[in-house]
Amino acid sequence: MTTPEPDQDSAPRAPFTLVIVGGHYDIGRTFRLDEGSYVIGRTEGADIRLDTPTVGRRHARITVERGRVSIEDLSSPCGLTMNDMRINAAELSPGACVWVGRVLLKLVRAEAPAAQTS
């Protein structure tokens, strides 16, 4: 009798982190991304607030679902840019960078907490 392998979709995954790596706004600031959907914008109601004029009030939505990360433009005037191309939506892999207005964000995999030993 064989033991079934764990379901890959139910395996725990480390969360992701967005890091501001470019532009002239809060370089080094980080935002933890767990499963769910986050609005990026400059208003106080945004989940990820980037209070700079080049970022729209509700600029983009980033979604983490089943270990995958995607981003979509919410019809912002300055849009989203990846690899020097304007995009409406894209799936992001760790290491990917995207311009939100004039703020460059990089997606990284967050470190899993270390197991405690006694």
Q: At residue 5, does pLDDT exceed 60?
A: no
What are the tens digits of pLDDT across the range 31-72? 999 999 999 999 999 999 999 999 999 999 999 999 999 999
Tell me the mean pLDDT in the region 6-14: 49
Residue given tokens 């370089």 in the structure block: 27
What is the pLDDT, as a whole number, of residue 11?
46
Q: At residue 4, does pLDDT exceed 70?
A: no
Residue 88: pLDDT band with limits 50, 70, 90: very high
Residue 26: pLDDT band with limits 50, 70, 90: very high
For 100, phi then psi, to 5°, come to: -110, 100
What is the pLDDT, as a whole number, of residue 36?
97
Structure tokens at 21: 């790596």
Give the C-alpha separation, 118 to 116, whole Å.
Answer: 7
**Could you tell me if 71 and 90 are in contact, meaning their C-beta atoms sit under 8 angstroms apart?**
yes
What is the pLDDT, as a whole number, of residue 52?
93
How many C-beta atoms surround the C-beta of residue 40 within 10 A?
28
| Residue % of the chain over a pLDDT of 90 | 75
